[in-house]
Amino acid sequence: MSWQESPPKSTNVDCSIVDLVFKITGQALPIDHAYALFQGLVRPLPWIQDDQWLGIHHVHIAESGNGWIRSDDHGILQLSGRARLVVRLHINMLDSARLLCGKQIAVDKHIIEIGTAKVRSLNPLDTVSARHVVADQEIQDETRFLQWVNEQLKVVGITPTKLLCGKTRLVHTPARILQTRSLMIADLKTGESLALQQFGLGEGRKLGCGLFLPHRGIDAV
């Protein structure tokens, strides 16, 4: 963990990047579904392969519920009616992405039906978190990982004061296994929060890596 005193806040906001949130219907997905989901979306939307802004969030459910605790990397996610597919993209591509509505995609051996979609603007709260940030083997140690995060953020003019990394998870692809860590960054200026959500951190954006979501507070962590 890295913790310093707070800087003053800024209010500079850019709204060109948004999340498009799709209702989805299906029975289940693999827990490690990032690559299969990307492949499933490429078939109806081949342009996403070359879109530098596009990011695909992992389909998320609670870590536990009704006495059941999900595993970290293996097994199956049982989807509820509240499950959503969330794609982060530039507003110029909204109409193209909405062509998914009403289609079915195959994610590994599972069929997912894509329903209606709504736009969700990025919320520049002063705390953001990412479930997966790719960390190479040599920076898996918490201290070195946080040093790397600081270095990456300073390149784009962000000087973080409060960082907290968490669980290590794996994202499998045919070419390699990505080792990732969860990351929370707190006490950001408004412009910094928005920039992190827009640009992300590290590689694997289309595999749900380096994508930040607003988080309501770090005090309880």
Domain containing residue 46: 17-121
CATH number of the structural domain spanning residue 179: 3.30.70.1210
User: CA 193 to CA 123: how far, in whole Å?
Assistant: 8
Co-location of 54 and 95 in the same domain = yes
C-alpha span between 85 and 38 (Å, rounded): 11
Last residue within a domain, chosen from 88, 121, 154: 121
Domain membership flag for residue 188: yes
Tell me, what's the pLDDT at 61? 66
In a domain, residue 221? The reply is no
pLDDT at 14: 58
What's residue 175's pLDDT?
A: 94
Token pair for residue 136?
A: 């190479």
Q: In this structure, how many other beta carbons lie within 10 angstroms of the beta carbon of residue 168?
A: 16
Structural domains in the chain (count): 2
Distance in angstroms (rounded) separating the CA atoms of residues 210 and 34? 13
How many angstroms separate the CA atoms of 37 and 52, rounded?
18
CA nearest to 184, candidates 110, 140, 132:
132
Residue type, 145: F
Q: Over the chain (221 residues), what is each successive 10-residue block's mean pLDDT? A: 39 75 95 96 97 94 43 74 96 97 96 97 95 80 90 88 90 94 94 94 96 74 42
219 within a domain of the structure (yes/no): no
Provide the whole-model pTM.
Answer: 0.85
pLDDT at 167: 84
- Does 161 map to a domain? yes
The confidence score (pLDDT) of residue 156 equals: 84
Domain membership flag for residue 220: no
